[in-house]
Amino acid sequence: MLRSRLLPALLLSSAIVAGTIGVPAASAGGVASGDARAASAALKAAASAPAEYRAGEVVVRDATGERVVRVRDVAQAAQSLSSRPGVRSATPNFLARASGWIPPDPGRGAEIGGWQKLQWNFLPETGVNAPEAWANLARAGRPGGKGVVVAVLDTGVAYANRGRFRRSPDFSKARFVRGWDFVEDDAYPNDDNGHGTHVASTIAEGTGNTIGLTGLAYGVKIMPVKVLDSQGEGDSQQIADGIRFAAKNGAQVINLSFEFPSEITKSQIPNILDAIRYARKRGTLVVGASGNAAAAAVAYPARSSDVLSVGATTQYGCQADYSNEGSDLDLVAPGGGIDAALEGDPNCQAARTGMDIFQMTFRASSPRRFLLPSGYIGTSMAAPHVAATAALVIASGILGPKPSPAAIERRLELTSTDVGPAGRDPHYGWGRLNAARATDPTIPVI
């Protein structure tokens, strides 16, 4: 067995500061089980709510054009004006609202929708525009990517109460399907590091409840597959076995948020590359982190042509200074951290520091206390954005009932937001992930 040192594609800032919330384990049971129903109900309620209009304004249309008339009683004035000779219509000045769903998750405080203060990565502009993607999936009848299985190959996931371990309070028990621990070779892939739980939370953390933050594909099922130990390291055979397990057991997307050192070549990890090819032949999309060495080439396993490789961008939309790049880079997504020094790129200011990526997880020393820690940046954090959006695309039905990995990749690439030089480039690949465009049924499939 070849044993190589494997690193989670995560950078820790100089200090990890605990979030201000500590959710007791007793509150975990079933709190997020209604996420999909809550999203759908909220959208339907908003759509069927009484129409609103600007107070004191009526829009009058006649032969001279149209104008806004100020009145005291809108309903009475509209009725009176519409009956006058020459008036084509007189209506209240009705209001329209953005169709994206803004869930009530509070973030660190108690403010409804407070998650937006931390999760810049899910917002429009330099994020992936999750609210519009959530609305697209709700309209498709598959809120949050309901029905899709995503395997998280990592340090495990806080998926169950067992011994000293606790399930994250922002995950319901129903959020998980059977996984495996290839480190201890048993059926209990509990997380003893925190990295895997953070990654899984980006993908599927409870959304639309009153706990913590939001997950991009909150309706999917997570398959926890532990291939990295408590130090975030794992060997090539554990990884290969984990990939094959996930593909055999129904995962439609596999997320790999780790990297081998730059000196590792494809000839040294044939078992992993064979497993990735096996997964792809079974119709499973494999998403991988490009690596954090600021190298001019993507690290393995993401460098494989059978993996959708993901680099990282900052809060300002610039390539992150740690993110590996090169001709094998496919997409970028939010990873947080410091802007790279890219001359001529208007999004970049060398050494400017943006926000981290926040999700609910735990301190490695205490897997029973969950919080929203700072310090998580890296291509590890970027990759699950893409894995989650791939799940949303599958669930949307835009590409048909069983889209191939190649079709999903192409959809994500062609709907991305082009940044940097026009077209594909070594810094941003095809562009920054755009979950709203990827799931928009009005954008043709090419």
Specify whether the CB–CB gap between 353 and 94 falls below 8 A. Answer: no
Judge contact between 372 and 198, C-beta under 8 A: no
Clarify whether 191 is annotated catalytic. Answer: no
Structure-block tokens of residue 24: 């007791």
Question: At a CB cut-off of 8 Å and minimum separation 6, what does 219 contact?
Answer: 35, 36, 39, 137, 142, 143, 144, 145, 146, 147, 148, 204, 395
118 close to 107: Cβ distance less than 8 angstroms? yes
Residues 6+ apart with CB under 8 A from 240: 271, 272, 274, 275
Return the DSSP state at 299.
P
How far, CA to CA in Å, does 193 sit from each of 41, 155, 197, 434? 36, 6, 8, 30
DSSP, residue by residue, 210-261:
SSS---TTTTSEEEEEE-S-TTS---HHHHHHHHHHHHHTT-SEEEE-EE--
The closest of 331, 287, 393, 370 to 26, measured between CA atoms, is 370
380 flagged as catalytic = yes
Q: Say how many CA atoms lie within 13 Å of 52 toward its Cβ.
A: 7
Q: What count of other Cβ atoms lies within 10 Å of the Cβ of residue 1?
A: 7
Q: Name the nearest CA neighbour of 135 among 253, 215, 42.
A: 42
Of the candidates 309, 380, 396, 416, the residue annotated as catalytic is 380
Please state, in angstroms and rounded to a whole number, the distance separating the CA atoms of residues 31 and 76. 47
CB 183 within 8 A of CB 226: yes
Cα(305)–Cα(329) distance, integer angstroms: 10
> Could you please report the per-residue DSSP string of 19-80?
-S--B-GGG-TTTTTTHHHHHHHHHHHHHHSPP-EEEEEEEEEETTEEEEEE-S-HHHHHHH
At 293, the amino acid letter reads A
Q: Which residue among 35, 40, 170, 195 is the active-site one?
A: 195
Which residue is catalytic, options 105, 154, 191, 229? 154
Residue 27: active-site member:
no
Peptide bond into 301 cis (omega under 30): yes
**Residues designated catalytic:** 154, 195, 380
